A and B are shown apart, each in its own frame.
Chain A
């Protein structure tokens, strides 16, 4: 079993839809959670960082963490074609080791 599970998709939604991306994890030692966006042939770009259960909002993006269920989500409101990318969840194990999910490939159709 992988430490971090993420549905690779692909996920295709119409422009303007609300997108929900999810990851589950097995290691209760994970304390810090991140979401990255990665465009083709580019490095991952940090979108959201959180370390507590609950919601964190930044513009059209909301990150949700449920530590009791070992489940994290990223919601994208009013999705745009420019949001088309691969979204990676990542979790910090111990002090420094960052463990990634496989990534979900998202396409927003105009």
Chain B
């Protein structure tokens, strides 16, 4: 049974057109992460939530925003996607301090 679910698996969007990726979890974990992974590169942390507390990475572009309306759901909003934003976007969850993270299957974003 999938515990971290990302929708859609594949997303094609137009250059400059806002897009939202979604993540849900059935684990009731406190922490939810969004990572960006480009081909043959390590996942790069964009931001994470500890419960409702939002933690942005210093080098995450303002173009990327996130919302967590409740424990189960978290959204990644890309306000004006550029060609350089084409990547796999990974959502992950963990219980909290010092615990392992579990990933969803990712959403592959294509920008045309």
Contact = CB atoms under 8 A, between A and B. Distances in A.
Interface of A: 4, 6, 8, 31-32, 34, 36, 41-46, 49, 51, 88, 90, 92, 95-103, 105
Interface residues of B, number: 28
Nearest to B103: A43
Contacts of A88: 42-43
Nearest to A6: B42
Nearest to A42: B105
Interface string B77-112: 000000000001010101011111111111010000
A34 B42 contact: no
Interface of B: 4, 6, 31, 33, 40-43, 45, 48, 50, 55, 88, 90, 92, 94, 96-106, 108
A17 to B, nearest CB: 24
A96 B48 contact: yes
A97 B98 CA distance: 9
Contact of B104 (A4, A43, A49, A92): A43
